[in-house]
Amino acid sequence: QKEVEQNSGPLSVPEGAIASLNCTYSDRGSQSFFWYRQYSGKSPELIMSIYSNGDKEDGRFTAQLNKASQYVSLLIRDSQPSDSATYLCAVNLIIQGAQKLVFGQGTRLTINP
């Protein structure tokens, strides 16, 4: 099992709809979770971080964390074509005693006008 898993997609969503991106992780002790957006040919850009169970909202973005089920999700409301990108889930894991940010492979999202 990979430490952080995402569906690689592509995920295709019509403009104006809700895009739902999911991520599962292996370490039950993880405490911090991040969503990065990466446009093609660009570097990852942090869009959300979440540390407690429940929902965290920031504009059109909502991050959801369920530590018991070891999953974190990102919802994008009123999806726009500019949201088309790869979304990377990153989880702080303890590996061999050291804290390390581990990324999933990313989900490629396409918003169709």
Partner 1 sequence: EAGVVQSPRYKIIEKKQPVAFWCNPISGHNTLYWYLQNLGQGPELLIRYENEEAVDDSQLPKDRFSAERLKGVDSTLKIQPAELGDSAVYLCASSLGLKGIRETQYFGPGTRLLVL
Which spans of this chain sit near partner 1 (rule: CB under 8 A)? 4, 8, 31-32, 34, 36, 42-46, 49, 51, 88, 90, 92, 96, 98-106
Shortest Cβ distance from residue 67 to partner 1 (Å)? 13
Closer to partner 1 at the Cβ: 1 or 113? Answer: 1
Among candidate residues 101, 92, 81, 106, the one with its CA nearest the CA of residue 22: 106
Which of 20, 105 has the CB closer to partner 1?
105
HEC string of 22-85 equals EEEECCCCCCCEEEEEECCCCCCEEEEEECCCEEEEECCEEEEEECCCCEEEEEECCCCHHHCE
The distance of closest approach from Cβ of residue 92 to partner 1 in the complex, given in angstroms and rounded to an integer, is 7
SS3 57: strand
In whole angstroms, the minimum distance from the beta carbon of 89 to partner 1 comes to: 8
Tell me, what amino acid is at 46? Answer: L
Q: How far is the CB of 108 from partner 1 (least distance, A)?
A: 9
| Closer by beta carbon to partner 1, 20 or else 49 | 49
Closer by beta carbon to partner 1, 42 or else 77: 42
Strands 11-14 and 107-112, by their bridges, are parallel
